[in-house]
Amino acid sequence: MRLLRLSFSGIGPFPGRQDIDFEEFEPEGIMLITGPTGGGKTTILDAVVFALYGRLSSQNADPARMRSTLCAPTEETWVELDFEVSSGQYRVRRSPAYERPKKRGDGFTLHRTTAHLIRIDDPANPLATRPVDVGPAILELVGLTGEQFCQTVILPQGKFDTFLRAKSDDRKKVLESIFRTQDYARFEDALRESAKDAQAVAKDASAALNSAWSEYLDQIQEKGIELSERSPHAARAAVAQAMDASVETAKSGLAKAKDQEQKAAAALTHGEQVIEAKAQFSLLKQTLHTLEQEASLRERQQLTLDAAARSKEVLGKNSIHEHDLAAKEDAEQAVTEAEEILTQAVAEVSFYRGDLREKAGQYAAELVPLVGVEADLKNRQEELHTLQDKAAAASKGGQECSAKAAKAHQVVEHVKLQVLASQNASKAMQEHGEKLEKLQAQHQAHEEWKEAAKALSDAAEQKIAAARAWDTAKSKEAHLVTQRLQGLASQVASHLQDGVPCPACGSLSHPHPAEEGAQTVSLDRLSEAYKETARAEELFNAAKSRHEQALERTTKAQAEISIAQEVLAPQLQLERTLFEQAERQANKLEGYQNKLQEEQNKKAQYDTEVALNKQALQELQQRIHSLTESISKLKGQIAPLTQNGITVRQLHDKLVQIHTLGDRQLLNIKHLEHAKVAAETSGEELIRSLKKNNFPTVEDAQKAALDKEAESGLRSQIADWKAQKQSCSQRLSEPKLVALAAENSPDTVALQNAKDSATATADAQNQQLGKLLAERDQLLRAVERISSATDHLDSLTAEHKDLLWLFELVNAGPANQDSIPLSTWVLLERLNQILAVANPHLQAMSAGRYELVRTDSDGGRSVNQALSLAVRDHYSDTERKTSSLSGGEMFYCSLALSLALAEVVSYEAGGIVIQTMLIDEGFGSLDPQKLDSVMDQLRVSSAGRLVGIISHVRELANQVGPKVQVIASEQGSRLKLNLPTRR
């Protein structure tokens, strides 16, 4: 996660737009955000967090307070952040909800929360355009929730020590998000659900088996059946032994009762058939007698049908005759109407010729050429109008082109002047550029002299310090040598005896022996003093060499300066301004040259268009004159035929119509003659048909006719009568019916009683058998449920054995000897790496006193206790809870842990690389010595990342050069950027 740029406007104490380019501060590795209390330093953190997550750095803070109370009601409030993650660079922009003035009318309206997310290299295709969509997209890109972001990247006030003081479960969530190991937790959850399901299924299967056994045992206890052992096989054998013999005896009794029932039923059926046959025989004889009495009626009905059949031919002939008479009348009317139309058509053009009825076709053919002349005349008149319109448009277009050409000439002359000005500016830019290079070289010389002078001062201080250290080492060495000699003399004196030669001088007398008890210095200690003196001398010589080099560099830098600093600055500013002005004008040269070429091309195009338009207008005028003459000639050819207000085309069409009507009238006359002959013929055929079918008149035939329904009804009645009569005769002669009717009538009551008695006996036997079978089947079904439940439970046990073992192993069950869940176990090595990196920082900050260590418990009941942290105090050789640390101790312990977290994830493949950190707490709780130690560790760990410190501690301002300074006033706050010096 790397912050690139932050821009905002109208938030907190900042009424106007402010910009921070974090990339400008990255070369130094550390930047300071400083300013007065309440000036808006923390607002910068809020802006970053709000842009990404739509919340502030404090979880409980209301985002509505982002709106600045110092900006005008019409000014917008927004935050825009450019950031980089492993998948690329992105820009997110948000604005909070606030009230703004209505665009129309008085009062205020609510400006709703907005959010927009894009890839910087593809701004045309936004990734999300609504707050509800931007939030999940940011979470997917960054990989951290807002709360986790404020524990790792942004460390606001009140949140700095959250990760250090967190419970194991909360620390695990942060580590999972940063190192992206959530898959292991999801695997645990999925395995837990699968194991839970498997256990629930096994529990249900065991309950089902117990229920089946309970049901079976209750049933056999009621029947007094004994069970040898509790197994499906023994249960099935017990049922067979107790029930099979009784079932077979009941089946035999039922078979005998069914046989007696069938015999009684057969006797009853035969008796009922005899009675029914006697009744049928009597009824058939009576029906046949009735049918024979209807014979005369059916004969009359047949005569009526025959008369109706004869009438059909007569009526058909009559229909044809009536149709022919109607056709004759239609033909007569057609001849009359056609004659009227033909007479009127001839009258309309009688002025042309007198014999139009006979020669209309011939005259029409003669007019065809003149019809073409008339059509050509019309086309030429239309063409003439079109050419006249084109000529008018061409004249107007020529005027417009001339005006454009004149204007283009003026533009070309103006652009020529611009080109000349840019060419002169290019020459001036070269002259000012040469002067500017000389002045910049002088400026660089001054800067190098300042740097060399500072280095000389530092080298001088180092030389003095080294000289003092050398003098101290030499004094210490001399002191130790003296102590060594005094110690040796004291040892010699302790062994001197009068008359015995001194081992040092050989004298036999010892008037002034050395005092006894002097401390002896060992050779090792004296040797170490010699080495310290040699090292101090070496350090002094090195410091001296650096001082000489710095002096030489300062002298050389001073020699390069030819212009005083107070004179250089205004000259440099003046030449830079003149150069930039000339450069801006010179940079326009290519654009002006391109524009000149473009305008010259336009002018040439307009000149061409004027010439072409003039030529086209002349050609149009010539064509108009030629057409006018040809139209006059054509009008003279057709003038004699159009004197009565009729065109040649209309006259020709009328003649063609007269010719067509004449031909049609001849056909009408022929149709009339044919219709008269057909009417006479059909009348004669009608008279012959009446005589043939014995009908005096057509009316008599119509009376004898029957409609389809009546005719069908008569035919159906006759057919039904014949069929019934034949059926009765056939039934009365059937042998079986005759034989049954001849028998004596049986006693059906006695037969029914015998049959009912046999049925009752059979039903009783059947009920007994059914009861026995039901009891046996019920017991067998209970046995089958036991067998099925047993098989199911055995199958589930075998199927889920490996799953349940793996569940115990992964979720810290009995199979897991370390009692550490998988998702926690995979984070242990990461936490160890973090502590391995954090502790060198911490030991340097705490002067070797503190070390962060893992513990087995944080006092809770979580299964993630392996991620618990404590502090080892090497001064007291005790292990302390993190909550026992003081404010300053808590700060630098948390800082060491945060720096280590950022460093480790940078090396972890697949993790979230933290390339930017912003810290807003704790520096004021450190004494100067601790502050120096903390800053040293920040500088060491800032390689490859930017660490931003938010503090008003004055010592930090002296130690950190690159700054973002918050300047507060009554009108609101603003930012002043002190960027690092470019080398």
Closest CA to 247 of 780, 760, 758: 780
Rounded CA separation 606/610 (Å): 6
Q: Which amino acid is at 508?
A: L
Rounded CA separation 278/745 (Å): 9
Tokens of 305: 């049908």
pLDDT tens profile 822-857: 767 777 777 788 888 878 877 877 878 888 888 866
978 bridge partner residues: 963
pLDDT tens profile 441-466: 888 888 888 888 888 888 888 888 88
Rounded CA separation 763/543 (Å): 129
Angle CA 749–750–752, to nearest 5:
65
Average pLDDT over residues 918-923: 71
Question: How many other C-beta atoms can be found within 10 angstroms of the C-beta atom of residue 456?
Answer: 22
Instruction: Work out the pLDDT band at 863, boundaries 50, 70, 90.
Output: very low
Q: Is the pLDDT of residue 983 over 60?
A: no
Closest CA to 824 of 120, 185, 132: 185
Instruction: Work out the pLDDT band at 49, boundaries 50, 70, 90.
Output: very high
115 bridge partner residues: 94
3-state secondary structure of 651: helix
Closest CA to 610 of 400, 387, 410, 390: 400
CB 241 within 8 A of CB 233: no
HSE of 670, CA atoms in CB hemisphere, 13 A = 5
Q: Is the pLDDT of residue 971 over 80?
A: yes
Question: How many other C-beta atoms can be found within 10 angstroms of the C-beta atom of residue 904?
Answer: 22
CB 931 within 8 A of CB 892: no
DSSP letters along 247-276, please?
HHHHHHHHHHHHHHHHHHHHHHHHHHHHHH
The per-residue pLDDT for 78 is: 95
The per-residue pLDDT for 909 is: 41
HSE of 526, CA atoms in CB hemisphere, 13 A = 13
The per-residue pLDDT for 9 is: 95
Rounded CA separation 90/141 (Å): 9
Query: Backbone phi, then psi, for 79, in 5-degree steps?
Result: -135, 135
Closest CA to 197 of 706, 796, 694: 796
Q: Is the pLDDT of residue 115 over 90?
A: yes
Rounded CA separation 343/658 (Å): 9
CB 638 within 8 A of CB 384: no
Strands (E), 900-945: 916-919
Least confident of 283-297, 616-630, 679-693, 898-912: 898-912
pLDDT tens profile 30-42: 888 888 888 888 8
Rounded CA separation 390/400 (Å): 15
The per-residue pLDDT for 191 is: 76
Rounded CA separation 113/972 (Å): 24
Rounded CA separation 491/517 (Å): 8
DSSP letters along 855-893, please?
ES--SS--TTGGGEEEEEETTTTEEE-GGGS-HHHHHHH
Query: Backbone phi, then psi, for 498, in 5-degree steps?
Result: -60, 135
Question: What's the CATH number of domain 160-224+822-912, 1.10.3470, 3.40.50, 2.40.128, 4.10.240?
Answer: 3.40.50
More confidently predicted of 608 and 936: 608
pTM above 0.95, yes or no: no
pLDDT tens profile 140-154: 998 888 877 877 787
Angle CA 893–897–900, to nearest 5:
140
More confidently predicted of 937 and 721: 721
Q: Which amino acid is at 839?
A: N
Rounded CA separation 324/104 (Å): 89
Query: Backbone phi, then psi, for 946, in 5-degree steps?
Result: -110, 125
Q: Is the pLDDT of residue 927 over 80?
A: no
Average pLDDT over residues 481-498: 72
Fold classified for 2-153+914-978: Rossmann fold (3.40.50)
